[in-house]
Amino acid sequence: MLFHVRMDVNIPRGLPAEEAKAIIAKEKAYSQALQQSGKWRHIWRIAGEYANFSIFDVKDNAELHEVLSGLPLFPFMKIEVKPLLRHPSSIREDDT
């Protein structure tokens, strides 16, 4: 299943800089591993915001929840999820 996910990050100002840096490094490694596996298909930064739009390709809602809740920055995120379906006018047969 494909999902459109918006993630807005709000790291508390009081979080020590070294702790924030470590969490961000873990986040990058985790997200890149998911991208390499094909589960995190696309990620785009939203200009001027600490946020992104992403496309996930996972088995179901439960797997998406597992992936998202595993994000090291998850405690500091507001997340919006929208399930996607292939449009009948699409010429791309691989987007199912």
Q: Does domain 2-84 have CATH number 3.90.79.10?
A: no
In the chain, what are the domain boundaries? 2-84
Give the model's pLDDT for residue 86. Answer: 85
Give the model's pLDDT for residue 93. Answer: 78
> What percent of the chain stands above pLDDT 90?
89
Residue 70 CA: distances (Å) to CA of 27, 29, 63, 77: 9, 12, 11, 12
Give the model's pLDDT for residue 95. Answer: 67
